[in-house]
Structures are given as structure tokens and as C-alpha cells.
A and B are shown apart, each in its own frame.
Chain A
Amino acid sequence: MQLVDRARAGDHDAFRRLYEANVDRIYRLTYRMSGDDDLARDYTQEAFVRAYQRLHQFRGDSTFSTWLHSIAVSVTLNGLRKVQRHRKRERSLDEAPPLVARTGRVEPDLKQRLREAIEKLPEIYKTVFLMHDLEGYSHGEIAKTLDVAEGTSKARLSRARAKLREMLGEFAQEYV
């Protein structure tokens, strides 16, 4: 009997083993997407609890890992949207931040420029970029996780890179 079947039948140890086998990748991905340990923990935990609750819906059309990843990505994207709405609301209550003095201007370093550029990527491009270029997922895995065609995953990655290149401009060239 496979682990998923055993977990579905109520075998606690089987679910623990599924957790052990997948938690690293899930946590890493949620952390890459959120950039915050608390949020990454929340999303990871929520993904596993939801997976447990929906084990009866898992048909085995994809691997358990892929199925779990789609839950995790969905939980994370929904959660981040809520956090962003909340932060936006908080910011609107605060006074406008003081303008940074332009005198003695210093170019932000490469890391900062790259970070800002990645942050600005639209969600659909950013998710594929983080999964493929930073976490090493294949286009096949990404396609199944996001429920899109493999070609769509490739196109989104290509678009993400093009946007990053555009945003970084000549700046990156100084470092290579």
C-alpha cells in the first residue's frame, strides 16, 4: 500500500513521512515567494493541513508532490495578496515617507537593484522565475503545479527574464 493510501486510511505515520519527504521544497518555495519566515511557515503549514483534508480528492493523476505543490502555491499567492492589501491599507494611514535627499547620490548595489526588479515582476512571471531559476524546478513540474502547458511555463520564464533585463538595463553588464 502506498504512503498516500495509508495516510488516507488514517495512518498518521504515513502522513508524517509524506511531510518529511516534501516539507523542504515546499518551505523553500513559500519562503522564496514571501521572503518572510513567519509567512512561509504559515503557508507551508496551511498547505499540508489542506492536503490532509483533501487526501480523498487526490486521484493520482500527478505525483503527490506535484499536487501538494499546487496547493502550496495557491495558498501562498492568496495569502500574499491579502498581506499586500493589508500593508497597502497600513501605508495609506501613515504619512508620506520623507523624500530621500538626492545629493551625494549613490547607486544602489547590484543585489538591491536585482531584488527590486524581481519584486516588480508580475505575479505569473515571478512565480515561474523563482521556481525555475532559483529553485531548480523543471518546466514539466512547473506546468503541472500551475496547471498550464509546458510551453506556457517556458514563455513566462522567457518573459520574466526579458523584463528583468529591461529593468536592470546596462547596470548588470558592469558586473559580468
Chain B
Amino acid sequence: MTNDRFEEFLKVHGDGYNRPPTTPKDAMWSVIEGAIAAEGTTSEPDGVSLASAKLKRQAAVHRWQQGWGVWAAAAAAVMVVGVGIGRMSVAPPGDGVLEVAIVTEAQARTMRSVALDYLMRTESLLTMVSSDARAGTVDAEMAQWGRRLLLQTRLLMDSPVVEDPVIRQLLDDLELILIQVAGLSSTELNIVRGREELQMITEGLEDQDMMLRIRSAIPTGTVQRGI
């Protein structure tokens, strides 16, 4: 076969390799839009006292979704200015853990708030994952939340502010867990597979003491969001 013919052969037959489907423009834009949103609110509804677990869950989901824009805006703001925080920690100010290079106190507070918010949302999601695994159900929205948190994880991982090896390792492990959550099968056709995937995720959570590690990174006394 001549080179020309082989090139033609590759172009014709190679086109079937990972042939892309139609671009899911709107679905992707909604996630991107959330990440660059400049508006939103983190205000918590006061005195939420819901009787059933289902209603509690709905409330958690609602708050989760409400807070997304603010998280993203704060994260984007901090990362865009490229502040040089020497070390990131979620410990409260004044304990000597946070080393500041070129950063204002306000920016440091924002970053702490971003990291805390991220950890609490992740804890809420993973609690739901464990709960669903025990109940044998798969929430269709779980993958979408996982996807958003995955994006946040990666942004945090690659930001210059995360230097604490403990936090970095935690983010690294969370990324792998969230990749699995983001890929959860939740359609009726795949429900059995979805349950198996949930089971694998919860095993991973237990093996790596993920919940304990996340909770250890959240300072005592912080008001929990979500469930």
C-alpha cells in the first residue's frame, strides 16, 4: 500500500474512532454559567425544621443549588486575582496555621470560606451517596452534583493557594471519588449498574476514611450545610 493510500485508509476508517455525538451545548453551558456566576446568595433559611427525611433531603438539595453560584463566584474571584497565599487551611484565623505571602486579610477570609463551603458541600453529597447505597436507590441528580463538585475540586487542586499536603492529598482522593459519582448511572435501564457503582463508591469512602478526613478538615463549631 502506498503512503497516500494508507493516509486515505486512516482518514476513512479512523473516523469511527471515538466519533463524537452531538455537542451537549446547553447542558455544559449551565455548568459553566454556574461557575462564572457573579450573583447568588448563601443565605440559609432560618429555622428549617422538616419532619421527613425526604423533605430534609429536598431542602439540602435546594440549599446546595442556591449556594453554587456564590461558591463559584468567590472561587473565581480569588483565583482570578492569583493571590499568593503560601498555604491553605480551613482552620479559623489566628491559630497560626495560615501563612500569608501576598494576600490581604479579606482575600484570605474569602479563601477560607470557599474551602469550607466546598468541604461541607462535599460532605453533604457523600452522605447522600452513602444513604442511597444503603437504601438501594440512585438519585438522578447525584451525578450532576458530583460533576459540579468535581469541577470545584480541580480548580482548587490547581490553584496556587493549596500547598498544605494534607489538604492536597484529601483533594486528590476526593477527585477520584467524585469522578465515580459524576459517572453514576441513574436511568431506569441502568439502575442495577447504578447500585453497584454506589456500592463501590461507598467502599472507597470507607477504605480511605473519607468522611472522617473531611470532617477533620472542617473546624469544630462550623454550622453544617446540607443534610
Contact = CB atoms under 8 A, between A and B. Distances in A.
B173 to A, nearest CB: 10
B17 A45 contact: no
Interface string B166-193: 0000000001100100110000000000
B14 to A, nearest CB: 6
B7 A161 contact: yes
A37 B182 CA distance: 11
Given A15-B36, A16-B29, A49-B32, A134 B76 contact: no
B1 A173 contact: yes
A47 to B, nearest CB: 9
What 3 A-B pairs have minimum CB-CB distances, sorted nearest first?
A31-B20, A35-B18, A27-B23
A110 B20 contact: no
A44 B79 CA distance: 19
Interface of A: 10, 12, 15-16, 19-20, 23-24, 27-28, 31-35, 37-38, 40-42, 44-46, 48-50, 52-54, 56, 82-83, 86, 110-111, 114-115, 118, 130, 133-134, 161, 164-165, 172-173, 175-176
B16 interface: yes
B147 A41 contact: yes
A109 to B, nearest CB: 11
Contacts of B29: 16, 19, 23
Contacts of B10: 114, 133, 161, 164
A111 B13 contact: yes
B221 interface: no
B149 to A, nearest CB: 11
Chain A CB within 10 Å, residue with most, of B3, B10, B179: B10
Contacts, number: 114
B150 interface: yes
A28 B20 contact: yes
Given A31-B18, A52-B36, A23 B151 contact: no
Contacts of A115: 16-17
Contacts of A49: 32, 35-36, 76, 151, 155
Contact of A32 (B8, B20, B25, B155): B20
B1 A176 contact: yes
Contact of B17 (A23, A40, A114): A114
B17 A134 contact: yes
Interface string B19-33: 011011101110110
Contact of B23 (A12, A23, A56): A23
Contacts of B9: 172, 175-176
Given A31-B20, A176-B9, A45 B80 contact: no
B23 A118 contact: no
A32 to B, nearest CB: 5
B101 to A, nearest CB: 20
A12 B36 CA distance: 9
11 contacts: A32-B20, A33-B18, A37-B21, A45-B35, A45-B151, A49-B35, A114-B14, A114-B17, A134-B14, A134-B15, A173-B1
Chain B CB within 10 Å, residue with most, of A20, A115, A176: A176
Contact of A38 (B31, B38, B182): B182
A118 B1 contact: no
Given A42-B147, A172-B6, A23 B28 contact: yes
B80 A53 contact: yes
A128 B119 CA distance: 39
A45 to B, nearest CB: 5
Contacts of A40: 20
Contacts of A53: 76, 79-80
B11 interface: yes
